[in-house]
Amino acid sequence: MHQEKRDSARMTIHAKADMRLDAQNLEGELENLSLKGAFVAAGGQFGINDVVTLNINSTLACGIKAKVVRVTDKGMGLAFEKPLLD
């Protein structure tokens, strides 16, 4: 049985998002979001512990620094350096 490790609630949200690491840019779709992280479905991926800049299109959430904490064949789990509402 899978044990939930998150301590903040997630909400399902679908929005275009892009992630940048140095000169690399990767586009995807935000699938869920919490105060402390997000999951982005993308065709490519960055590596575990890479720190990326996340921009969520159609919102004012731009320039969010996040660490890649999980990689699946579908996308990446991100942990924000600072909670969205600090």
The alpha-carbon radius of gyration of the chain (Å, integer) is 12
Where does the pLDDT of residue 72 fall: very low under 50, low under 70, confident under 90, or very high at 90 and above?
Answer: very high
For the whole model, what pTM was predicted?
A: 0.84
Q: What is the dihedral of CA 3, 48, 45, 35, to 10 degrees?
A: 60
CATH superfamily entry for domain 11-80:
predicted glycosyltransferase like domains (2.40.10.220)
Annotated domain spans of the chain: 11-80
Write down the pLDDT at residue 59: 67
Q: In this model, does residue 19 exceed pLDDT 50?
A: yes
Give the number of other CB atoms < 10 A from CB of residue 55: 17
Write down the pLDDT at residue 84: 78
